[in-house]
Every structure is written in C-alpha cells, then in structure tokens.
Homo-oligomer: A and B are copies of this chain.
Amino acid sequence: MEKIINRYKGKGFKLTPQRLAILHYLEGNTDHPTAEDIYQEIRKKNPTVSFATVYNTVQALRDRGELLEITIDPERKHFDPNPQPHHHIMCTNCGKIDDIFIDYSSALKVPENISDEFQVLGNHVDFYGVCKGCRARKTNN
C-alpha cells in the first residue's frame, strides 16, 4: 500500500480513497478483470463508488501507461495492471486469460509492403486455446 502511495504521490495523480481501493485491487492482480469486475470488487468495501469513477480511473491509468487495455476478448475489454509489453492466451471455452512473458519481436518481421506504409511501433500476440479445466469437463460430459 505504501508502495502504491509513493508511486503516485506528487505526480499530478490525486490519490483519493476510491482510487486507492482500485489501485490496491489491481496491484499484482493477474486475473485481467473487466471494468465490471473492478466495480463489483471495490463496492464491497466502498459501497458508494460509482461506475464512472472506475472508468475514469482506469482511463487515467491507461493514459499514464500504468495499465494495459486487453482486446483479446471480443465481448468486452479487460485490464492488465502489468504495463510491460507481454502477450495473452484466452480459453475459448471459459474465457480465462493468462499472461505470456516472451518477447517475440525479433521473429515478428512485417513484409516490405507493410513496412513501406507503416512505422511499426509495437505488437501484441493473442493465443487462443482450451484450458485444462475445460478439457477435463468436456471429456466427462
């Protein structure tokens, strides 16, 4: 908690109780929550918090590069409090998302027609698959 406060103190990011609750929930969280997930969790301890505050806060964090917006799930946005570039895999059955910390950049060369047209600034790899739990469940049914 101290760590969080020190990270934002005096950096033009006002630390309100709501924001602290959100930051605390996200700290080290690898569940890739949606805005809804964050809202439901924060509400338990801070019942008057509004959805707008959750959205405002994740936007502010995203704009500061403290948070990544994950597009792997076509249904909704997920958030990842680890801002280092990395990749994701989603279970197409249950939606579970895990992190993959490998830098594939050197292998991800684009063809010439693309590099002529675009200055490439980044990449993100989405993997799709079926997780162990879902495989087990499918075999049983």
Question: Which among B108, B114, B129 is the interface contact of A104 at CB below 8 angstroms?
Answer: B108
Interface residues of A in 33-92 (CB under 8 A from B): 69, 71-74, 77, 89, 91-92
Q: With A72-B71, A125-B108 known to touch, is A118 a contact of B102 (CB < 8 Å)?
A: no
- State which size class the interface on A falls in: 35 or more
Instruction: Give 8 nearest A-B pairs by CB, closest first.
Output: A107-B107, A118-B129, A120-B129, A71-B71, A122-B128, A124-B126, A121-B129, A123-B127
Q: Are A100 and B104 in contact (CB under 8 A)?
A: no
Question: Which among B108, B109, B117, B132 is the interface contact of A131 at CB below 8 angstroms?
Answer: B117
Q: Are A118 and B104 in contact (CB under 8 A)?
A: no
A102 CB, min distance to chain B CBs, angstroms: 6
A114 contact set on B, CB distance < 8 A: 89, 98, 100, 127
In the bound assembly, the distance between CA atoms of A120 and B127 in angstroms comes to 7
In the bound assembly, the distance between CA atoms of A120 and B126 in angstroms comes to 11
Q: Does A140 contact B (CB under 8 A)?
A: no
Q: Does A141 contact B (CB under 8 A)?
A: no
A34 CB, min distance to chain B CBs, angstroms: 13
Q: Are A108 and B111 in contact (CB under 8 A)?
A: no
Q: Does A110 contact B (CB under 8 A)?
A: yes
Q: Are A102 and B110 in contact (CB under 8 A)?
A: yes
Q: Does A14 contact B (CB under 8 A)?
A: no
